[in-house]
Amino acid sequence: MLEIVLSTVRHRKAGFAGAFVALLCAAALVCACGILLDTGLRGSVAPQRYAGAPVVVTGDQFVHQTKVKKKGKVKHKAKAIAERAWLPASAAEKVRAAGARNVVTEVAFPAEIGSGAGESWGHGWESAALTPFTLREGRAPAVRDEIVVDAATARANGLRVGSRVRVASAEPGEYRVSGVTREALKDQAAIFFSGAEARRLAGHPGMVTAIGATGSKAAIAGALRGVRATVHTGADRGRAEFPGAERSRIKLISMGGALGGTALLVAILVVSGTFALSVQQRQREIALLRAVAATPRQVRRMLGQEALLIGLAAGPLGAAAGVPLAFWLRDRFRGLGALPANLDLVVSPFPPVAAGAAAIVAAVAAARVAARRTARIRPVEALGDAALTPPRLGAVRTVAGLLVLAGAVVLTVVLGGLHTEAAASPVTMLAAIVWTVAAALLGPVVARAAVAVLGVPLRAFPVGGHLAAANLGAGARRLASVITPLTLMTGLTATILFAQTTTGHAAVRQATEGTLAAHVAGPKIPHGTAEEIRRAPGVTAVTEVVRSTVRVGLQNYGVQGVTTAGLGATMDLDVRRGDIKDLDASSVAVSTTAASRLHVGPGDTLRLTLGDGTPAALKVVAVYGRGLGFGDLTADHDLLAAHVDDPRGAVLIAGTPPKGLPTVSAATLAQDTASANAEVNYIAMGLIIAFTAIAVVNTLAMSTADRARELAVLRLAGTTRRQIMRMLGWETLAVVLIAGLLGTGIALATLTAFARGMTDGGPSVPPLAHLGVIAWGALLAAVATALPARLAMRARPADAVGARE
């Protein structure tokens, strides 16, 4: 058996090359996604600012929920909060009481000099020992208007002792450099103020960001019992120092899992289609084996061993290629700010091994499924079956296709009821894939129906069109195999692209329609500057806007904090119930989507956790319609600003803004936000689109190359090369039209449900962009058909016929 397998692979290199490429790409994609997921699960960040403190105490960065299940089983869940949690300053005394030494408290707040890239934080000089920072020149800040800057900041801005520089923060001001440190941190700038000035700028009286100490972790944790605090040691101190990196790590888990799951589903579909086409092309060969007494088990075993051989070659190579692919993804995500520079990938043997194994299993399973019918036919029917296409689908395939079709309908209905992107995005991809699987299973039926319609206009064209119609009608199964990857690529590409445009355009439209102010300044305008703008001549109203994320239970909700004075002149939230004028520090307004999910309305109390972990119970005063443009919740500005890391935000200005103040339109600000979110999804899902494009080329090239004998017979019958190329051109056009219509239908069904749930409207599909998607598929199909055909026709017709015989 092994000798037959090796001989088959050796003599059918072109057919097996397509399966090899599909498996290699699948393994690379799954490996890269696995590395992202593994990084999310086990990735860590080394401490920098807290490197000199053996023990670091911070506020609890999680919201916790405990539920008692059946039989008394307790289940605990925790979700990360959006901002930095603060500690009461009195916790330092409890740490000292636990026997800790070198206890140091610190406050940290956003503060920048110039426009350098990366994070920049202000601190009190007393916390310099946490790194430790030491002075290279000058002295510690002694008065309010003095600062010490780190070596990198001094070098980048040309600062030295005695220089005066403006520091941007929640309360910007001009300071004199009293000292420069020897040290500089890799991923963040440090600006040190006097202790009193740092506490004033931080804006959290009686609170500290962290406590560093030397002592027993267990003793310190025991002393802090009853305080919402977490004790960190070793590498865990990096999580305390970089809460943003921790949140990114958690996002990688969901992103890697969703992307990896989608990639695996697409890979299985593509690989199955490739092997199905390969087995179709070998029906005569397999039929001959059955005719000479090969049993179905032997045929399945032969095909399984062929697939295993290809999988063993492609799986490890693809897994190895997945490692640099993961690093490429990391660099792209870092460039978009979705992944911090100090969170490195975790590269362990597990993802490559799992990806290689998945490729092998997918190959063997796909070959077994593809060979099921051919291996079971009776020997006496074998040769006839190879020569004649079955008139109808088998009962098993028909039932499977109808069941998958029903599943696609159910998923689409479910998608229409999902109102958050986190819930809707994976279901959107899954729905598009399931629709494509249904089309693949029922493909021959769809192909016959489509050919019956297209055959009429095709036969109007002599020779080329007539031959194309005849070939398409006789090869419904082959046509279905070719259509499936092109349908998948068209449907997935359109779904991915236009799901983003649907939410992005809806958000921009709502923000534009709801922003009454003619000018928007931002995004980091401090409260003092907003007050100056408010007093400027020609300004009729100013609304300060700060944004954050809160949790209701464990669910995330975007929230904006607004100043209510003059709100009616700058912002229209499309209030449906209640009155936004009643908004104050004890109340909140909710969007219609959030109100539906939370089952609240005007007069109800909404219990939530603010961005820094502070619980709040707010009265609902209004329900508004423009949640995509302005956030699910709207709260009082001062309430929200007191619980975010950076209280600076955008400013909406009605009237004439002061001269020299840079402003943008509301549409531009909303578009920038939507584009930043969309680009991350485009990069991640673009790999899957590229994979499906490779599958399209693979399948079409395999199908055309296998027709060398058919093309040779046509040439012996007197058909010219030009007529054959025209025939193939008409066939390709028919394939593109059928796949384009199927892919468009799949995308429209999915996007309509997505839009109904997310925007309560219809999908946003730019016609030219969608035509571009179909044109890209047409170009791939044309190239993958024309090149193999020209190569096949280089040989003399008699030689080609003889070789196939």
- Average the pLDDT over 153-164 and give the result: 93
* Whether 310 and 374 share a structural domain: yes
Domain count along the chain: 4
Q: Which of 130, 169, 131 is nearest to 147 (CA)?
A: 169
Q: How far is CA 16 from CA 8, 276, 328, in A?
A: 9, 12, 29
Count Cβ atoms below 10 Å from residue 194 Cβ, excluding itself: 21
Contact by Cβ (8 Å): 773, 494: yes
What's the CA gap between 59 and 66, in Å, rounded? 19
Q: Is the pLDDT of residue 295 over 50?
A: yes
Instruction: Please tell me the total number of residues recorded for the chain in this structure.
Output: 805
- Give the pLDDT score at 388: 46
Q: Which of 616, 558, 617, 619 is nearest to 584 (CA)?
A: 619
Classified as helix, coil or strand, 626 is coil
DSSP code for 706: T
**Which run of H or E residues covers position 623?**
strand 615-624
Query: How confident is the model over 11-24, as a mean pLDDT?
Result: 71
The mean pLDDT value for 714-721 works out to 77
Does pLDDT of 600 surpass 90? yes
Encode 78-146 in three state secondary structure: EEECCCCCCEECCHHHHHHHCCCEEEEEECEEECECCCCCCEEEEEEHHHHHHCCCCEEEECCCCCCCE
DSSP-based three-state secondary structure for 511: helix
For residue 204, what are the contacts with CB-CB under 8 A and spacing of at least 6? 86, 107, 642
Same domain, 765 and 800: yes
pTM score > 0.95 for this model? no
Residue 401 domain-assigned?
A: no
Query: Is residue 209 located within the same domain as residue 266?
Result: no
Q: What is the pLDDT of residues 168-183, one digit of tens each?
A: 999 999 999 999 999 9
Q: Are residues 98 and 1 in the same domain?
A: no
DSSP 702: H
Distances (CA, A) of 726 to 94, 464, 738, 785: 85, 5, 18, 11
User: In this structure, is residue 398 part of a structural domain?
Assistant: no
Cα 512 from Cα 805, distance rounded (Å): 69
Q: How far is CA 90 from CA 2, 671, 803, in A?
A: 76, 45, 89
Scanning 203-295, the segments in alpha helix (DSSP H) are 217-223, 237-241, 243-281, 283-291
Same domain for 227 and 248: no
781 vs 795, residue with greater confidence: 781
Range of the domain at 585: 527-647
**Looking at the domain assignment, is residue 497 inside a domain?**
yes
Using CA atoms, how far residue 257 sits from 155, 221, 388, 437, in Å, is 42, 34, 44, 21
Same-domain check for residues 729 and 780: yes
Do the Cβ atoms of 105 and 175 come closer than 8 Å?
no
Q: Residue written as tokens 């309360």?
A: 171
* Nearest Cα residue to 404 out of 444, 437, 443: 437
Rg (CA), the chain: 32
Residue 702's pLDDT is: 74
Handedness of CA 703, 706, 709, 715 (dihedral sign): positive
Average pLDDT over residues 670-689: 65
Q: 411-415, 641-645, 758-762: which has the minimum mean pLDDT?
A: 758-762
Nearest to 314 by CA among 357, 369, 278: 357
Query: Is 70 exceeded by the pLDDT of residue 672?
Result: no
Edge to edge, the sheet with strand 229-233 lists 101-106, 210-214, 55-59, 229-233
Q: Say which residue, 376 or 394, is predicted with more confidence.
A: 394
What pLDDT does 255 receive?
Answer: 76
Report long-range pairs for 248-252 (Cβ below 8 Å, ≥24 apart). 248/338, 248/339, 248/340, 248/343, 249/39, 249/40, 249/43, 249/343, 250/40, 250/80, 251/40, 251/338, 252/36, 252/37, 252/39, 252/40, 252/43, 252/339
Residue 58's pLDDT band, with cuts at 50, 70 and 90, is very high
Least-confidence region, from 58-72, 388-402, 424-438, 493-507: 388-402
Two structure tokens written together for 415: 């998608």
Distance CA 374, CA 385 (A): 9
> Residues 372, 375, 379, 381: what is their CA dihedral angle, to the nearest 10 degrees?
40
Token pair in block for residue 81: 């909060």
Coil, helix or strand at residue 402: helix
Cα 177 from Cα 149, distance rounded (Å)? 7
Lowest mean per-residue pLDDT among 46-55, 445-454, 734-743: 445-454
More confident residue, 247 or 597: 597
Same domain for 125 and 36, yes or no, is no
Residue 393 lies inside a defined structural domain of this protein: no
Residue 723's pLDDT band (boundaries 50, 70, 90)? confident
Res 59: pLDDT: 93
Main-chain dihedrals φ then ψ at residue 344, nearest 5 degrees: -85, 155
Angle of CA points 682, 685, 688, to nearest 5°: 140
In the predicted model, is pLDDT for residue 162 greater than 90?
yes
Q: Return the pLDDT at 393.
A: 66
Average pLDDT over residues 97-109: 93
Q: What is the pLDDT of residue 660?
A: 80
Tell whether 673 and 638 lie within a shared domain: no
Report the C-alpha gap between 471 and 723 in whole angstroms.
14
More confident residue, 91 or 272: 91
Half-sphere exposure of 652 (CA within 13 A, CB side): 28
657 inside domain: no
Q: CA 208 to CA 221: how far, in whole Å?
A: 17
Domain ends where: 322, 353, 388? 388
Give phi and psi for 255, each to the nearest 5. -65, -50
Single residue among 213, 232, 251 that ends a domain in this structure = 232
Residue 212 or residue 362, greater confidence: 212
- Give the model's confidence band at 444: pLDDT under 50 very low, under 70 low, under 90 confident, else very high: confident
Q: What is the DSSP string of 309-348?
A: HHHHHHHHHHHHHHHHHHHHHHHHHHHTTSS-TT------
Average pLDDT over residues 777-804: 73
Mean pLDDT within 673-701 = 71
Same domain, 628 and 678: no
Of residues 737 and 334, which shows the higher confidence score?
A: 737
Q: Is the per-residue pLDDT at 634 higher than 90? A: yes
Write down the pLDDT at residue 594: 92
Residue with tokens 């070998």: 282
Q: Is residue 652 part of a domain?
A: no
The 3-class secondary structure across 339-380, one letter per residue, is CCCCCCCCCCCHHHHHHHHHHHHHHHHHHHHHCHHHHHCCHH
pLDDT in tens, 615-628: 999 999 999 999 98
pLDDT at 801 over 60: no
pLDDT in the model for residue 386:
46
Q: Are residues 611 and 724 in the same domain?
A: no
How many whole angstroms separate alpha carbon 286 and alpha carbon 280? Answer: 10
158 and 92 assigned to the same domain = yes
1 SS3 class: coil
Average pLDDT, integer, range 235-240? 87
Tell whether 160 is covered by a domain: yes
566 plus 635 within the same structural domain: yes
Q: Which residue has the higher pLDDT, 708 or 797?
A: 708
Boundary-marking domain end, from 202, 232, 262 = 232
pLDDT of residue 96: 93
CA end-to-end distance (rounded Å), the chain: 23
The secondary element (H helix, E strand) that includes residue 199 is helix 195-202
pLDDT digits (tens, 9 = 90+) for 452-481: 888 788 777 777 777 777 777 766 677 777
Given a contact cutoff of 8 angstroms between Cβ atoms, the answer to whether 777 and 489 are in contact is yes
Q: At which residue do the structure tokens 């590395």 appear?
A: 35
The string of DSSP letters for 554-584 reads: TEEEEEEEE--TTHHHHB---EEEE-GGG--
pLDDT at residue 232 greater than cutoff 90 = yes
Q: Is residue 519 part of a domain?
A: no
> Would you state the structure tokens that stand for residue 328, as one six-digit string?
């490429």
